Amino acid sequence: MTQGRFITFEGGEGAGKSTQVQRLAARLRADGRDVVTTREPGGSPGAESIRDIVLRGDADRWSPVTETLLMYAARRDHVERVIRPALDRGAWVICDRFADSTRAYQGAAGGVDPAFITALETYILEATRPDLTLVFDLPAEIGLARAQARAGAEMRFESKGMAFHERLRAGFQDIAAAEPDRCAIIDATAGIEAVEAAIWSTLTARLAVDG
C-alpha cells in the first residue's frame, strides 16, 4: 500500500486557510484520492475537548508554556487517532494548522523557548511530519480585521493585540525561510481563486500532482 501524503496549512488569523482546505480536498477527491481533512487544535474527540479550553476565555487565561503543553497533549491524541491511521492506509491528510502553529504562536509570538518546543515536537510527533506546508501570509492588521468580522466564541488569540500578531507573522515567515524544501509561502492577500491556483501550482511542483 502506498504511504499517504500529509499537507499542512499555516498562518495567522483570518488568512483564509479553512476555505482553501476544503477547496483543495474537493479537487483531490475529484481525482480519485482518499482525502482526510482535519484541524488543530482538535481533529480527534479528545483533542477537540482541549481545543474548547485553549481557544476560549480571556487572553491571559493560560501562560504560553501552559498553552504549549495543552497543544501538544491535543496533538498527540490527534496524531495517534486520526493522522497516522489515515496516512498508513494511503490517504492524503490536509490539516488546518499543525506543529508550526505552536512554534509561531507560543514560540515566536509568546516567547516560549524554542528548544522546549523542539523537544516536545521530537518526542510527541516522532516520524509524523508534513510532506508540504503552505504558509498563508498577509499583514497582521488585515488578518485581524477578517477574523473579527467572523467573531465567535473562539477569539482568545485574536484578543492578544497587534504586537503579538506582528510577531506571529514574522514567526511564520522565519519558519518558511528556514525550511524551504518543506514550506511554501502563499500570498493570502490575493482573491480566493488566485490563492487556490497558487496552492495547486505548488502541489504540482512539490508533490508531483497532475496539473
- pLDDT (tens, 9 = 90+) of the chain, 211 residues, equals 577 899 999 999 888 899 999 999 999 999 999 999 999 999 999 999 999 999 887 878 889 999 999 999 999 999 999 999 999 999 999 999 999 999 999 999 999 999 999 999 999 999 999 999 999 999 989 988 887 777 665 677 777 888 999 999 999 999 999 999 999 999 999 999 999 999 999 999 999 776 5
Q: If you classify domain 5-206 with CATH, what class do you get?
A: alpha beta
Question: What is the residue extent of each domain of the chain?
Answer: 5-206
Nearby residues of 68 by Cβ (< 8 Å), 6 or more positions away:
102, 106, 107, 110, 112, 116, 117, 120
**pTM for the structure as a whole:** 0.93
